Amino acid sequence: MKLLLHICCAPCSVAIVDKFKQIPEVELGGYYYNPNIHPYEEFIKRREAVEKMADQYQLSVEYEDDCNLEYWKEKLNSEKDIRCRVCYSMRLDQAAKYAAENNFDAFTSSLLISPYQDHELIRSLGEKLASKYGIKFYYEDFRSLFYKGKNISRGKGFYMQKFCGCMYSYSESDHPKKPLYNF
């Protein structure tokens, strides 16, 4: 199976990449698309971590470098349920489209590893968008791999973010090591 992994960041994707790299029947490709990470400095830190991970796992990754803070400032609803739905849909739509255009059999997403995301919503959007583009959505509950991914990332020195990505999630995060950003 030729499988495209939508990658949101290195810590969320590394354990999934590690898993599929050990299955010879799976030909894995990566697609980094996360336009809702702000500010740009944070976007670059996460992108570089994905590059490092891809290099170490010999994973071919396509990078989409959209990061338009002004667009999101205007469009993003502060209400979490509404804004996350928009954010998931945008990322999964692009990933499904890319997978279909590049002859993948199916796509999946590293978003499915996080216990902090709306897992069932991601699953249903993935299935809906897969059928829109005439491919399959590979669903697996990767959440049991979440801490493995964090441990691998810590061990390999990948950048580990302290908030989900958007400016609202930055304000919501109470992580003591959160970088100082001004939106």
Where on the chain is the footprint of ligand SF4 (CB under 6 A)?
36, 83-84, 87, 164-166, 168-169
Strand partners, 109: 6
CB of 168 to ligand SF4, least distance (A): 6
Distance CA 70, CA 73 (A): 5
Whichever of 36 and 153 has its CB closer to ligand SF4, that residue is 36
Distance CA 55, CA 106 (A): 23
Whichever of 67 and 84 has its CB closer to ligand SF4, that residue is 84
CB of 25 to ligand SF4, least distance (A): 31
Whichever of 49 and 164 has its CB closer to ligand SF4, that residue is 164
Whichever of 25 and 81 has its CB closer to ligand SF4, that residue is 81
Whichever of 2 and 123 has its CB closer to ligand SF4, that residue is 123
CB of 110 to ligand SF4, least distance (A): 12
